[in-house]
Amino acid sequence: MTCDAAAPLVSVLIPVYNAERYLARCLTSILSQDYPALEIVAVDDGSRDGSPALLDRFAAEYPGRVRVEHKPNGGVASARNRAIELARGAYLMFADNDDFFEPGAVRTLVDAALAVDADLVCAGFQRPDGAGKVVDAIVPDPASAWAPYAIVAAWGKLFRTSLVRDHGLAFFDTNIGEDLVFTLPAVELSRKTVVLGQVVYNWFYNTESVSSTAHRTSAGLNFEGTLDALLAELARHGLAVSDMVRHYLIRFVVWYLMYTCAGDGAKVAREQREHYVAWLDANLPGWRRDPLATPTRPVSDAVANRVAVWLFARHPHLFSVAEGAYLLAKR
């Protein structure tokens, strides 16, 4: 356990937008942690509901522990980036305004970081619904090389603040995969990363939120912009695309194609598939020979993910057949 007298300050950063229904639960789950040196930095991103007043009430009740800034609406990336600027902690954590921490989460992550002087600690999450039923969970396997890449959300992790600031890591303003441009470079730049095989974070299954939309179309999604921004960020740091990052990008393209195909319909889905195959050919030469694109690797990834990536990379005709069958099933 950490020595409380010397416990490093942890800043928990929360972008807030129109979240009054669940915000108090989020804040309370953090303030009730058993870790003594903790601050919440909440950036109200131009909320139009009762969130600003609720934040100000918490800040008045917990002076110094809850710090609030109100700003005009600029999107979640701008709110997170501003929170990073305001943070005073030696370590950073992130939370979304309708999610909540598991008891003991902060202490667990800090203890793991201090034990080996880690720059980054990653752990698992679960998805409770409004009735408290857990509908999904991902717990990374600490023994797997894939584990730091299994969950690319910024939450559920502890970042050394100097890792973020010294490298100028920031969130990219996009409407899909906004965490990717921040988290993957952090993983690649970390001198020491620890993975914990336990749940520390609750990603609320909010059926009203954008992230819970069952099927989207590709229209209006800045997916290619997110991919391009990630490659540019890696290049800015002089980082080559590692085997793990390459596999993640192939897997991410497969996820996107399956995520949007039901809403797009057969014709647009085929055009999207051809477009992103061309993008991979141009930006990741040799991607079809990805050694991780097999039904058995990465060993800790879900079977459905492994098979989908394998078909996409090695057997594109069969992947198109599978995508067509999925489209029919969703009609």
Which of 45, 46, 53 is CA-nearest to residue 24? 53
Residue with token string 């698992």: 124
Tokens of 169: 């890591």
d(CA 150, CA 270): 27
Q: Which of 150, 184, 212 is the last residue of a domain?
A: 212
- Do 157 and 293 belong to one domain? no
C-alpha distances (whole Å) from 59 to each of 47, 48, 69, 146 are: 16, 19, 10, 39
- Do 130 and 273 belong to one domain? no
- Do 193 and 252 belong to one domain? no
Digit-coded pLDDT (tens) for 108-138 = 999 999 999 999 999 999 999 999 999 999 9
Q: What is the CATH number of the domain that holds 146?
A: 3.90.550.10
Please report whether residue 124 resides in a domain: yes
Is residue 326 scored above 90 in pLDDT? no
Digit-coded pLDDT (tens) for 80-115 = 999 999 999 999 999 999 999 999 999 999 999 999
Tokens of 7: 């416990």
- pLDDT category of residue 215 using cuts at 50, 70 and 90: low
Please report whether residue 246 resides in a domain: yes
- Do 240 and 320 belong to one domain? yes
- Do 56 and 192 belong to one domain? yes
- Do 70 and 26 belong to one domain? yes
Is residue 3 scored above 60 in pLDDT? no
For residue 97, how many C-alpha atoms fall within 13 Å in the half-sphere facing its CB? 23
For residue 135, how many C-alpha atoms fall within 13 Å in the half-sphere facing its CB? 12
Q: 155 Cβ partners below 8 Å, 6+ apart?
A: 93, 94, 95, 96, 99, 125, 201, 203
Please report whether residue 61 resides in a domain: yes
What phi, psi does 194 have (nearest 5°)? -115, 140
- Do 70 and 184 belong to one domain? yes
Overall average pLDDT of the 222-228 stretch:
98
- pLDDT category of residue 206 using cuts at 50, 70 and 90: confident
State the residue range of the domain holding 29.
4-212
Arithmetic mean of pLDDT over the chain: 95
d(CA 113, CA 284): 33
Digit-coded pLDDT (tens) for 160-195 = 999 999 999 999 999 999 999 999 999 999 999 999
- Do 238 and 295 belong to one domain? yes
- Do 176 and 253 belong to one domain? no
pLDDT of amino acid 2: 47
Report the amino acid identity of residue 171.
F
Q: Which of 155, 189, 212 is the last residue of a domain?
A: 212
Element (DSSP H or E) covering residue 307: helix 303-314
Q: Residue 324: exposed, middle, or buried by beta-carbon count in 10 A (0-12, 13-18, 19+)?
A: middle
d(CA 124, CA 163): 21
Is residue 1 scored above 50 in pLDDT? no
Please report whether residue 136 resides in a domain: yes
Is residue 216 scored above 90 in pLDDT? no
Digit-coded pLDDT (tens) for 288-319 = 999 999 999 999 999 999 999 999 999 999 99
- Do 306 and 263 belong to one domain? yes
Please report whether residue 217 resides in a domain: no
% of the chain surpassing 70 pLDDT: 96
Please report whether residue 300 resides in a domain: yes
d(CA 208, CA 203): 13
Report the amino acid identity of residue 307.
V
Total of domains in the chain? 2
Strand partners, 13: 41, 94
Please report whether residue 218 resides in a domain: no
